[in-house]
Amino acid sequence: MATEFTPRVFSGIQPSGGLTLGNYLGAIKRFVDMQAAEFETIYCMVDLHAITVWQDPGDLRKNTRELCAGFIASGIDPEQSILFNQSQVPEHTQLAWIFNTVARMGWLNRMTQFKDKAGKNRENSSVGLFAYPALMAADILVYHATHVPVGDDQKQHVELTRDIAAKFNHDYGVDFFPITEPVIEGAATRVMSLRDGSKKMSKSDPSDMSRINMTDDADAIAQKIRKARTDPDALPSEADGLKDRAEARNLVNIYAALDDSTVDQVLTDVGGKQFSEFKPMLADLAVAKLSPISGEMARLMGEQAEIDKILARGAERAREVAAPVLKKTYEIVGMVS
Ligand code: TRP
């Protein structure tokens, strides 16, 4: 008989830069929705993942707190969900070590994110960047999480998590770790760069004009949307008409996601309009939806002690779940205690 696991959601975001519209629409907004469903929800600022590439310590601290403020301002309730930063829960790294002995070199060698991030500079990448997916598997499995909402680019890492769980269970003859399901975001919530519709909107893009930051004010949002790359054609009246128009599609996707409607519904209203008319509509909508969040974020960022207290309390609650799982793992592996 397969073990029944409690439906439990885990996901993480790296505090490696400011929070963008891409993080909000692609991740946090979905995390809020799952909080309302019949799951236990655990959301983590993965600071130990962030340092697999260089982070200035001051920036890392600021970005971790800003991310926490962003979660809360967007609707994550730190009472209902467990909200914390990874480094305060040592069970993650302890389980990651065990998983370093389970995962095979060949598995990690196939990870496309490592290849992309290391690029030609493989020999000079940190060992942590290579081992990153084993820590991610530990993040998930130290809570026996059953569901992980992630972007498409993280699907391979969740599959690796499943492989690690299955190999551990098989090698030790147990049915201890769940085989976690990835919950992949739809294309509609994948927000692309405002300068290049083939690239994901990213906090690490050198051009600030490529992204909307959750801390941008109304003028900055409007300017970035006005300058966003598009093509010269009018908007189509059906989604099909956006097929080979990555930048146009991105702006319509953003509109639909902010408006909680669908691309087809949006196009029913705006089909035939020029971008010169659509962009101000999008800017108004973005400002209306984002300014309450950025306002609340700014307020929270002024209450640093409050944020740190929330993170400490979240870490305490996280450890209550993680510690027994790690203890049992050590027992299974044969560690004397
Ligand atoms: N690798 C993820 C990203 O960069 C972040 C992450 C770390 C994560 N651990 C996780 C996501 C566990 C989901 C579950 O987006």
Q: Following DSSP, what letter does each residue of 268-337 receive, concatenated? A: HHHTT--HHHHHHHHHHHHHHHHHHHHHHHHHHHT-HHHHHHHHHHHHHHHHHHHHHHHHHHHHHHT---
Distance (Å, rounded) from C-alpha 163 to C-alpha 115?
A: 20
pLDDT category, 185, cuts 50, 70, 90? Answer: confident
The residue contributing the CA closest to ligand 1 atom 13 is: 11
Nearest protein CA to atom 3 of ligand 1, as residue: 13
67-125 pLDDT, tens digit per residue, is 999 999 999 999 999 999 999 999 999 999 999 999 999 999 999 999 999 999 899 99
Atom of ligand 1 nearest to the CA of 10: 14
Task: Please give the distance, rounded to the nearest whole angstrom, from the Cα atom of residue 50 to the centre of ligand 1.
Answer: 10
Residue of 277, 186, 183 whose CA lies nearest to 234: 277
Average pLDDT over residues 168-193: 91
End-to-end CA gap in the chain:
30
Q: Would you state the pLDDT for residue 36?
A: 81
CA of 131 to the centre of ligand 1 (A): 13
**pLDDT at res. 2:** 65
pLDDT of residue 1 exceeding 60: no
How far apart are the C-alpha atoms of 249 and 192, rounded to whole Å?
9
Sign (positive or negative) of CA dihedral 240, 243, 246, 247: negative
Give the strand order in the sheet containing 82-85. Answer: 82-85, 40-45, 8-13, 147-150, 181-184
- On whether the CB atoms of residues 55 and 66 are closer than 8 A, the answer is no
Q: What is the pLDDT of residues 205-235, one digit of tens each?
A: 999 999 999 999 999 999 999 999 999 999 9
Rounded distance between C-alpha atoms, residue 229 and residue 247, angstroms: 6
List, in order, residues 6 or more apart from 49 with CB less than 8 Å away: 12, 14, 86, 132, 135, 136
Q: What is the pLDDT of residue 38?
A: 84
Q: What phi, psi does 334 have (nearest 5°)?
A: 105, 20
pLDDT at 130 over 70: yes
Distances (CA, A) of 101 to 144, 193, 324: 19, 38, 20
Mean pLDDT of 257-280: 95
Residue range 275-333, pLDDT digits in tens: 999 999 999 999 999 999 999 999 999 999 999 999 999 999 999 999 999 999 999 99
CA dihedral (280, 22, 251, 228) positive or negative: positive
pLDDT band at 3 (very low <50, low <70, confident <90, very high): confident
Regarding the beta carbon of 85 and ligand 1, being less than 6 Å apart is answered no
Which of 156, 161, 149, 146 shows the shortest CA–CA distance to 26? 149
pLDDT for 14-60, tens place per residue? 999 999 999 999 999 999 999 988 899 999 999 999 999 999 999 99
Q: Establish whether residue 19 lines the binding site of ligand 1, counting it when its CB lies within 6 angstroms of any ligand atom.
A: no
Q: Is the pTM of this model over 0.85?
A: yes
Pocket test for ligand 1, best of 150, 160, 162 (most atoms within 8 A of CB): 150
The tokens for 309 are: 């207290």
Sign of the dihedral through C-alpha 133, 135, 138, 140: negative
Taking the C-alpha atoms of residue 193 and residue 210, their distance in angstroms, rounded to an integer, is 5
Query: What is the structure's pLDDT at 190?
Result: 86
Cα–ligand 1 centroid distance for 249 (angstroms): 26
Q: Is the pLDDT of residue 178 over 60?
A: yes
Residue 259 scores a pLDDT above 70: yes
Region of 39 (left: φ > 0; alpha: ψ -120 to 50; beta: rest) is beta
Residue 216, pLDDT score: 94
**How confident is the model over 187-200, as pLDDT tens digits?**
667 899 999 999 99
149 CA: nearest ligand 1 atom: 13
Give the H or E element holding residue 50.
helix 47-50
Report whether residue 203 contacts ligand 1, using a CB cutoff of 6 Å.
no
Average pLDDT over residues 1-5: 75
Rounded to the nearest angstrom, the distance between the alpha carbon of 13 and the centre of ligand 1 is 6
Domains of the chain: 8-189+303-333 (3.40.50.620), 208-299 (1.10.240.10)
